[in-house]
């Protein structure tokens, strides 16, 4: 197992140097770009050797995987843990090998076409090494963000392309999230070389290729990255843009901004500048306007000369005109107070684990609409780009969180961890910087921020995040005592988790209001910053009832929420700017005496059926929306607008 930790550290310095070479635009088809989705069945094998290194020693990547041993079919995207009946695979730690053979279209490989072919992996947990036709082409650390590599030099016309991906799900004190490997030496109690992966976060460490793998093309001179920011001055919308180009120094750029109907509202030329739109339709959150999630479309066209030939590349970037500002008591979107009434979620479901599933995604958005939720936090890692696309289109506000969860030990706050944390924030901001739905970055969840190293650590991470994106506030989610939290002075919004009458004073509903009121008063008096109750709740086993309410019953979960809501209604008139229930749905965790087939704090079951608390929250959230007087009380007929098609001309 020493090889596991060694391999994870082997290229850390290389990754730090190369993490942000180039942009990470979301793949979209256009007249100059094609996509080929590689989702489906891949060949799969885990490495059961003692050191988990047989795949490297025997060079499994040099030939089809089936030739070096038995393989099974594995769906992509999906976690591998729950696909088979093998309990050892479910809890496997080490290297897992995936392989797919694909025939690229012949036109992609014609030399005169001047085409780049890019392999893009939406996410793979945790550490990935990628080969194409037996040649290593890239590696990546981190389980929740995309990475890509140009592979046209490794392809041969009219021949199959063999893509091999080795994934290691081992977590160390310096990964994000962190973990430890514990070895058991007593052979009278444990098998020889027995070890387990320990973590200090409360969700199952699913592993695999979790998001789509695609091949896409661009011309050899191409639009590499686009950055947009928006502002409002009276009735004029301002859109600042910056476009980077690769592949040719001899190029020109034209930009056309279209509204939802396809009408041109502004044009420009050049790689940087500003577009002005008179009386723009603003991007508003769901339930705050009759047209939530209004998007414009910035069409960027590149003309470049390469080897005497003119090449053209087109890319369309969705844009929402909106502003965000924080005061000592309010969170303002487009200058109007915004109150977060929403949920925390997980990418989690039966069988597929964290694998992307369109049916589940659409179901969840329909439940959010039914519930009257206007926001969620990507607890505790960045969610799929496909989910973020719909947040933009539907007007669902997002607190975008990095995988900084389980940071409970002083070893998690050293320079090595800090360097990697900074890279992760760079990758997250590079991916989501243009999304109007993202209104705040979260750099961690429930870290041991009372430890002395946490002050410098979070001061550095937050300053780095703001330097990369000065347009959004930054926070982290705390459960540390207000007087001991070393990181709180550096956040813009206080986000606090508490579970009164559950983890603290379990069963005593009568203490909630007093303790919650004290919590809010202490935090606000200390920091004079607006506060979000970023987690609260109680476990409830669906169908378990008790009157009077007893713990784990649906009635107790509902009673806890009611006690919290009483104080929320008092404090939201002052400085509390939001409430996010924990959790949207039940989810899987590691096995333990406190967990019966996972965490049951969801207001929906893992199969997305409502518990009693869901109806309580629905009534509350619609009441909060209607109190804004910006929405008709006929809320049962409210719905999301249809997802807007991207137009390229």
pLDDT category at 629 given cuts 50, 70, 90 is: low
pLDDT category at 5 given cuts 50, 70, 90 is: very low
With a cut of 60, say whether residue 509 has pLDDT above it.
yes
Average of per-residue pLDDT across 287-307: 95
Average of per-residue pLDDT across 170-197: 95
The proportion of the chain whose per-residue pLDDT surpasses 90, expressed as a percent, equals 91
Q: Please give, one letter per residue, the 3-state secondary structure of 197-212.
A: EECCCCCCCCCEECCC
Average pLDDT, the chain: 93
- Per-residue burial over 403-418, b if 16 or more Cβ lie within 10 Å, else e, is bbbbbeeeebbeeebb
With a cut of 50, say whether residue 643 has pLDDT above it.
no
Encode pLDDT of 585-622 as tens digits: 999 999 999 899 999 999 999 999 999 999 999 999 99
Encode pLDDT of 244-280 as tens digits: 999 999 999 999 999 999 999 999 999 999 999 999 9
Residue 6's Cβ-count burial label (10 Å; 0-12, 13-18, 19+) is: exposed
In this prediction, residue 111 carries a pLDDT of: 75
Encode pLDDT of 273-296 as tens digits: 999 999 999 999 999 999 999 999
| List of E strands, 21-61 | 35-37, 40-46
Residue with the larger pLDDT of the pair 640 and 324: 324
pTM: 0.93
pLDDT category at 184 given cuts 50, 70, 90 is: very high
Question: Is 141 one of the annotated active-site residues of the chain?
Answer: no
Identify the active-site residue in 99, 401, 446, 579.
446
Q: Round to whole Å and give the CA distance between 355 and 116.
A: 28
Residue 607 β-bridge partners: none
Encode pLDDT of 40-92 as tens digits: 999 999 999 999 999 999 999 999 999 999 999 999 999 999 999 999 999 99
In this prediction, residue 649 carries a pLDDT of: 32
With a cut of 80, say whether residue 492 has pLDDT above it.
yes
Average of per-residue pLDDT across 629-648: 43
Encode pLDDT of 204-231 as tens digits: 999 999 999 999 999 999 999 999 999 9
Q: What are phi and psi of 597, to 5 degrees?
A: 50, 45
Least confident window among 169-173, 513-517, 629-633: 629-633
Encode pLDDT of 613-626 as tens digits: 999 999 999 999 99
Residue 565's Cβ-count burial label (10 Å; 0-12, 13-18, 19+) is: middle
Q: What are phi and psi of 509, to 5 degrees?
A: -60, -30
């Amino acid at each position: 197992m020493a090889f596991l930790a060694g391999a994870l550290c082997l290229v850390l310095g290389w990754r730090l140097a190369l993490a942000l070479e180039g942009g990470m635009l979301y793949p979209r088809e256009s007249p100059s770009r094609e996509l080929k989705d590689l989702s489906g069945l891949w060949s799969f094998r885990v490495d059961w050797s003692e050191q988990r290194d047989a795949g490297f020693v025997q060079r499994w990547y040099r030939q089809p995987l089936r030739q070096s041993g038995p393989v099974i079919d594995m769906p992509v995207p999906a976690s591998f843990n729950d696909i088979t009946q093998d309990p050892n695979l479910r809890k496997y730690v080490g290297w897992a090998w995936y392989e797919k053979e694909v025939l690229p279209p012949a036109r992609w490989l014609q030399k005169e076409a001047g085409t780049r072919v890019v392999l893009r992996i939406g996410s793979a947990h945790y550490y990935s090494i990628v080969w194409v036709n037996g040649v290593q082409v890239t590696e990546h650390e981190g389980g929740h963000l995309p990475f890509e590599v140009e592979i046209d030099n490794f392809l041969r016309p009219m021949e199959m392309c063999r893509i091999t991906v080795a994934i290691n799900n081992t977590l160390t004190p310096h990964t994000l999230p962190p973990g430890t490997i514990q070895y058991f030496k007593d052979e009278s109690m444990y098998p020889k070389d027995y070890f387990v992966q320990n973590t200090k976060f409360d969700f199952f460490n699913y592993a695999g290729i979790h998001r789509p793998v695609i091949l896409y093309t661009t011309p050899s001179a191409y639009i590499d990255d686009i950055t947009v920011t928006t502002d409002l001055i009276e009735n004029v919308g301002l859109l600042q843009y910056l476009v980077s180009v690769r592949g040719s120094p001899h190029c020109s750029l034209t930009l056309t901004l279209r509204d939802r109907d396809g009408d041109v509202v502004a044009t420009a030329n050049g790689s940087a500048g500003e577009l002005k739109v008179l009386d723009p339709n603003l991007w508003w959150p769901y339930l705050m306007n009759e047209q939530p999630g209004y998007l414009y479309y910035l069409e960027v066209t590149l003309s470049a000369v390469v080897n005497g030939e003119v090449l053209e590349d087109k890319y369309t970037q969705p844009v929402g005109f909106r502003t965000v500002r924080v005061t000592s008591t309010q969170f303002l979107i487009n200058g109007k107070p915004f109150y977060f009434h929403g949920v925390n979620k997980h990418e989690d479901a039966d069988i597929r684990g964290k694998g992307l599933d369109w049916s589940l995604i659409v179901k969840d958005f329909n439940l959010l609409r039914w519930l009257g939720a206007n926001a969620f936090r990507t607890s505790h890692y960045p969610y799929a780009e496909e989910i973020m696309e719909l947040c933009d289109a539907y007007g669902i506000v997002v607190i975008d969180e990095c995988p900084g969860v389980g940071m409970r030990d002083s070893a998690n706050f050293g320079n090595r961890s800090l360097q990697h944390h900074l890279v992760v924030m760079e990758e997250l901001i590079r991916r989501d910087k243009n999304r109007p739905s993202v209104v705040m970055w979260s750099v961690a969840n429930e870290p041991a921020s009372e430890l002395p190293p946490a002050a410098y650590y979070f001061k550095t991470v937050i300053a780095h995040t703001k330097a990369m994106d000065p347009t959004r506030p930054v926070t982290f989610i705390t459960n540390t005592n207000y007087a001991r939290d070393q990181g709180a002075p550096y956040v813009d919004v206080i986000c606090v988790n508490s579970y009164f009458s559950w983890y603290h004073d379990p069963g005593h509903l009568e203490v909630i209001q007093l303790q919650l009121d004290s919590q809010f008063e202490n935090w606000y008096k200390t920091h004079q910053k607006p506060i979000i109750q970023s987690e609260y709740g109680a476990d409830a086993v669906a169908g378990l009832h008790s009157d009077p309410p007893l713990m784990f019953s649906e009635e107790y979960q509902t009673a806890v929420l009611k006690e919290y809501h009483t104080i929320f209604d008092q404090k939201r008139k002052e400085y509390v700017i939001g409430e996010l229930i924990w959790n949207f749905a039940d989810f899987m965790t590691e096995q333990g005496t406190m967990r019966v087939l996972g965490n049951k704090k969801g207001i929906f079951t893992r199969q997305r059926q409502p518990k009693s608390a869901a109806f309580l929250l629905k009534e509350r959230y619609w009441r909060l929306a209607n109190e804004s007087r910006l929405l008709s009380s006929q809320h049962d007929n409210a719905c999301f607008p249809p997802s807007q098609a991207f137009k390229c001309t």
